[in-house]
A = this chain, B = another copy of it.
Amino acid sequence: MSSQVLADYLQRREKLIAEDRALRVDRIRANHTAAELKADEVVRNIRTREAVSVWGVEGGDVPHPYPGMEFLNAKDIILKTDLYSKVVSKMPKGSLLHVHHNASVEARTVLNLALGHPAIHIRVPGPLDASSLKYVLPDIQPIPAEQYPATVNPASITDVTYTGGWVPIQKARELFDPALGGPDGFDKWVLGTFVINPSDAFRTYNTPMKIWLKFGSTFAVTDPIIRFVPIQKEYLRLFIRSSIEDGISYIEVRMSFFIKYILAEDAKTRLDLRELLLIYEEVTNEIKAEMKAKGFDLVGHEDGIMSKPLLYYAEPLLRFAKKHPNIPFLFHAGETLGDGTAADMNLYDAILLGTKRIGHGFSLAKHPKLMELCREKNIAIEVCPISNEVLRLTSSIPMHPLPVIMNQGIPVVLSSDDPAMFNSMGLSFDFFQVLAASEVTGLLTLGQMARDSITYSMLDEMSKQTAMIAWERRWANFVEHVAAMSS
């Protein structure tokens, strides 16, 4: 057999691989600059090196680490990598298109905001001890000045004399029983109710159905704090500032309207949700960011027992669409492991009802015709890798169906969903996990996803052009910088 036969084979192999990957966003764009190609190579080398030097090391605090492993266990390792600190965290991300407004600021920061405001009080059903600490959720709220407790030195919520009334949160922290850790023990307990912890995700609540119970409780605990106007304003400022720091230029926020008011500074007056939009306007004007919350969506646990499928709302939604043809639908759909379940079937309705993007679309990979429609109609999928992993749709990023969807030529925008509850922030961790868990995806892929996050945003055409020009400038600087790094 001549070596020509092998050479022919290798040529046919190259061609087949190219055909197989032809639909990917990083292949469609052909005119990469020399700096982009060099930066991509540098990043691949760092990834390869750290797969051994960081992820291949046994015996550390985290047992059996690997690239793309569970985020809640991996976070401290990720922060130590060059791939994160020198590359991904510095990358201009484009837009953040799937994030919930009440889950966007880190737990520690939210607790600091609460500790910093005199109206914020705390109560629990009765005195806390080592055992009740494991399951009692605190009630933390602003209360009107006239309801402040009369005593200057209230009982500690860990004291046997405590009978369940409101205590100023600062006092409750100060007086927290030293046997339970004192102020640090207080912080640990409260923060544990603000976020999903590894023991929640991997033991107590090990299925999507179960983890949504814990997930819901984190919102219940933090919502009354955030819903308070003075804190809401600061919360929003911190969210926008940290997003800017993370290289995000534009955000479309998902708002929920379950509770139809926000609470004024007096902690008594219930303000219309219009006030919330005015706060958004005020704060965004203030930070001179261009951010608009527009687009109509339905949010919740699609698989939940109480959940109604999109089909249930088909008639009012069809009516709404006819009446308001300029308000785009941006539905959550397919955030499920189900195969033919109601949540999986929501994908048909989201597309038939004319959604412009799909929130999650986790189960889309199972639907050849729907993938074809998304490709043809340019319906981008808001993929939220860390959210999907923490909420138990996938056990790690290598198991995530993202490559299936990307390789079908469907535009993908990476999003963070509810980063506060996942002990995450910005978009860097989601970008990192996707980059670390593949040999095909590289920096150019992430760059194209960032471009798509502008293309598939709800900005008007003029604003899109402006945003794209600004992003391309930052990107060019970034890739020059990465290309110059020694890999």
Contact = CB atoms under 8 A, between A and B. Distances in A.
Among A366, A394, A439: residue with most chain B CB under 10 A: A366
A30 interface: no
B315 A440 contact: no
A315 B395 CA distance: 38
Interface in A337-353: 337-341, 344-345, 348-349, 351-352
Given A64-B206, A439-B339, A399 B403 contact: no
Contacts of A407: 366-368
Contact of A369 (B5, B19, B352, B394): B19
Interface stretch (A6-14, A184-192, A324-332, A420-428): A6-14
Contact-size category for A: 35 or more
Given A318-B1, A370-B20, A339 B206 contact: no
A23 B368 contact: yes
Contacts of A403: 339, 366
A17 interface: yes
A476 interface: no
Contacts of A369: 16, 19-20, 22
A207 interface: yes
B339 A9 contact: no
Interface string A347-365: 0110110000000000001
**A-B pairs with the 4 shortest C-beta distances?**
A340-B439, A340-B440, A20-B369, A337-B398
5 contacts: A9-B318, A16-B352, A339-B440, A339-B441, A344-B439
Interface of A: 1, 5-6, 9-10, 12-13, 16-17, 19-20, 22-23, 64, 66, 206-207, 209-210, 311, 314-315, 318-319, 322, 337-341, 344-345, 348-349, 351-352, 365-370, 393-396, 398-399, 401, 403-404, 407-409, 437-441
